[in-house]
Amino acid sequence: MSDLLSDARRAWVTEAITRVEADANRSADTHLVPFPLPGAWGVDLYLKDESSHPTGSLKHRLARSLFLYGLCNGWIGPDTTVVEASSGSTAVSESYFARMLGLPFVAVVPATTSQEKLELIRFQGGRCHLVEDAGSCVSEAYRLAAELGGHFMDQFTYAERATDWRGNNNIAEAIYQQMAMERHPVPQWIVVGAGTGGTSATIGRFIRYRRHATRLCVVDPENSAFYPSWRSGDPNVHTAKPSRIEGIGRQRVERSFEPHVVDRMELVPDAASIAAAHAASEVLGRRVGGSTGTSLWGAFGIIAEMLAQGRTGSVVTLLADGGERYRHTYYSPEWLAAQELDLEPFGNTVDRFLKTGEWAPPAMP
């Protein structure tokens, strides 16, 4: 590159980083919302409401981190087409940042991705490249990036390292700051799902770095490789089918998933995730996404244990995205019937828990 060209490129990168930082500076952090439980229980539950980001999910944080990482590494310049393999939400958030920088963006998404999400990607200015086999999104993204002379963001590899785990306003630091004035400011448990694994890696590392007593629980849906791999220690687990809970559960153990910072994992049936999402939507007066249901199911089970042991404290989990994105799936009776999902026994479990604190889930098949 000539000096003139490299000066121009450097000036562009400087301006690009300014824009991303200015966007963050204009934004407030997301709310930490109390989930109402009987006060006499002595156990408090909170949801970090990641749906309130400008692009509607916790992937807003990841997209910002991945863009900054790519810019500071010299991987993204003024002529770069940005490519991502994504089940939807990451692509929505990355489209937002690509447009902010005037860069073309292509999302390689499974053909099964909800229409709502495809529309959101296009609304943010991204292009969608649909693939039939969800398992080939990554190889197709590599191919497309090479063909276009672009950059493949590769969220499943870089999520854990693009985020500043020691602080810099990451999600963990924000949670502890927002808990400071609560009656149990240091959570007993933080419960999250894993898609890239980036969120659990950031929170797990931060807990250790700050020497908090908090334990980290990762909830995992059916057909995900994370849970069996964590149990067995085998990093090469593959599953036959993709997860039905969008955003979490992967067919292989992604590189961004850090198993050693996870204190506990719980396998959550899909019908339980969706039943908990429905119940939470009633309680909160607004619809939440499927992975929020998975997280709440895990949190409810842990809170019931604490109650049975006579312990008090707090539990924090995530409202990772809202339910508007899933009108034609988790909130559609037709879709639920077609998937042969019977929510009723799981809904009854949640109702009984919210009334009595007792946890009696149906036997796993």
Which residues here bind ligand PLP, judged by CB under 6 A? 57-59, 89, 159, 193-200, 247-248, 289, 291, 320-321
User: In this complex, which beta carbon is closest to ligand PLP, that of residue 43 or of residue 320?
Assistant: 320
Q: What Rg do the C-alpha atoms of the chain give, in angstroms?
A: 20
Considering the complex, what minimum distance in angstroms separates the CB of residue 302 from ligand PLP? Answer: 18
Minimum CB–partner distance for residue 97 and ligand PLP (Å): 16
Angular region, 234: left φ>0, alpha ψ -120 to 50, beta rest? beta
Closest CA to 155 of 66, 283, 234: 66
Instruction: Compare residues 43 and 107 and give the one whose CB is closer to ligand PLP.
Output: 107
Closest approach, Cβ 299 to ligand PLP, in A, equals 14
Nearest approach, Cβ of 5 to ligand PLP (angstroms)? Answer: 36
Contact between residue 131 and residue 118 where contact means Cβ atoms under 8 Å apart = no
Q: Least distance (Å) from ligand PLP to the CB of residue 249?
A: 9
Of 89 and 214, which has the nearer Cβ to ligand PLP?
89
8 Å CB contact between 62 and 318: no
CB atoms closer than 10 angstroms to residue 337: 10
Instruction: State the angle between helix axes of 59-72 and 89-101 in degrees (0 to 180), rounded to the nearest 10.
Output: 50
User: Encoding tokens for residue 5?
Assistant: 């060209």
Enter the tokens of residue 210: 């700050």
Nearest CB to ligand PLP, comparing residues 13 and 159: 159
Instruction: For ligand PLP, give the closer residue by CB, 192 or 271.
Output: 192
State the pairing for strand pair 43-49/82-85.
unpaired
